[in-house]
């Protein structure tokens, strides 16, 4: 599933060729995604797209009297193609831009969505309950410590809760906990504030590094220009169960937390 760094990489990749340009044509080949593609999409021909924003794993495109809301789901991607490039299987939506490029939505599993939000997008139910952005000023160790009091859930599941902080998916939660030296199984409410400060900084570092590297390609993700992410080459624990720790050399252990596979180092993480 595309995580926050993959979505941010997509935003940065498509923005120079979409933001500030008009939509010349809309082509919908498949309406049945996670929700039906709204007819309002075809009514946006001739309108200019504003600055593209990201909230959690959603992309927001200001246009006309509202916003287009995109979510890439499990296997979706937004790519830029030359006009006239034949669509492939699972290429469901084209926005033909005045930049002379096509913004093409590809989604084999069709778990993604595009919707039109009239008015303030922050009031939309899908965005209103989200926690702070991990790279924003509202996020830090004090926030995690405050939200964790009385929580008996494992700390890894805690930081993956989008009501606590957005965008910390399975891969990046595992990597941040490794950098912070925290066992992913520990109860969230039993972790001291100083360790949460360390964890918040690790979350920032991991996500910023992944964005810089273009995300983490595991199966389906490519950026807006069709390029894969390379952060997978730098993973310390995720997907490396049974292999030696890059720091202490001990064998990394594979476990299941909250129905998610997880890997940690019994030497480095306490």
Which tens digits make up the pLDDT trace of 34-43? 999 999 999 9
Pairing of strands 66-71, 77-82: unpaired
Whole-number pLDDT of residue 220? 41
Instruction: Indicate if the pLDDT at residue 146 is higher than 50.
Output: yes
Q: Answer yes or no: do 46 and 158 share one domain.
A: no
Confidence (pTM):
0.88
Residues noted as catalytic: 2-3, 57, 260
* Number of Cβ within a 10 Å radius of residue 128: 10
Enclosing domain of residue 150: 141-264
Flag whether 176 is in a domain.
yes
Q: Is the torsion defined by CA of 226, 49, 96, 41 positive or negative?
A: positive
Whole-number pLDDT of residue 227? 55
Backbone conformation region of residue 2, classed left if phi is above 0, alpha if psi is from -120 to 50, else beta: beta
Choose one of 94, 128, 162: the last residue of a domain: 128
Q: Answer yes or no: do 86 and 120 share one domain.
A: yes
Burial of residue 74, with CB atoms counted within 10 A of its CB: 0-12 exposed, 13-18 middle, 19 or more buried: middle
Answer yes or no: is 109 a known binding residue.
yes
Q: Answer yes or no: do 93 and 193 share one domain.
A: no
Whole-number pLDDT of residue 226? 56
Contact in structure between 12 and 86 (CB atoms under 8 Å): no
Q: What angle do CA 144, 186, 269 make, to 5 degrees?
A: 95
Flag whether 248 is in a domain.
yes
Choose one of 103, 128, 153: the last residue of a domain: 128
- pLDDT-based confidence at 3, cuts 50/70/90? confident
Phi/psi for 215 (5° steps) reads 95, -175
- pLDDT-based confidence at 218, cuts 50/70/90? very low
Choose one of 83, 99, 128: the last residue of a domain: 128
The pLDDT of 78-93, averaged and rounded, is: 95
Could you report the per-residue pLDDT of 229-268, keeping only the tens digit for each?
Answer: 444 557 899 999 999 999 999 999 999 998 899 999 999 9
Biggest distance spanned by C-alpha atoms of the chain:
60
Instruction: Please tell me the total count of domains within the chain.
Output: 2
Name, in order, each residue with C-beta under 8 angstroms of 53's C-beta and a sequence gap of 6 or more. 11, 59, 60, 62
Q: How far apart are the first and last CA of the chain?
A: 28
């Amino acid at each position: 599933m595309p995580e926050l760094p993959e979505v941010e990489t997509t935003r940065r990749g498509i923005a120079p060729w979409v933001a500030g340009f008009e939509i010349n044509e809309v082509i919908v080949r498949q309406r049945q995604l996670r929700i039906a593609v709204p007819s309002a999409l075809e009514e946006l021909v001739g309108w200019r797209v504003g600055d593209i924003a990201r909230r959690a794993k959603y992309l927001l495109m200001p246009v006309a009297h509202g916003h287009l809301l995109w979510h890439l789901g499990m296997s979706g991607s937004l790519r830029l193609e030359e006009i006239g490039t034949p669509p492939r299987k699972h290429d469901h939506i084209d926005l033909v831009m005045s930049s002379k490029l096509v913004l093409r939505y590809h989604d084999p599993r069709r778990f993604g969505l595009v919707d039109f939000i009239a008015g303030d997008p922050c009031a939309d139910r899908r965005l209103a309950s989200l926690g702070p952005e991990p790279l924003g000023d509202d996020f830090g160790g004090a926030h995690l410590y405050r939200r964790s009091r009385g929580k008996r859930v494992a700390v890894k599941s805690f930081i993956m809760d989008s009501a606590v902080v957005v965008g910390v998916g399975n891969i990046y939660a595992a990597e941040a906990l490794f950098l912070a030296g925290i066992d992913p199984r520990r109860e969230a409410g039993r972790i001291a504030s100083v360790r949460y400060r360390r964890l918040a900084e690790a979350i920032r570092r991991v996500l910023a590094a992944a964005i810089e590297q273009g995300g983490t390609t595991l199966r389906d993700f490519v950026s807006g220009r069709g390029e894969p992410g390379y952060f997978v080459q730098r993973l310390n624990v995720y997907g490396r169960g049974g292999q030696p720790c890059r720091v202490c050399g001990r064998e990394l252990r594979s476990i299941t937390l909250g129905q998610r596979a997880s890997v940690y180092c019994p030497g480095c993480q306490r």
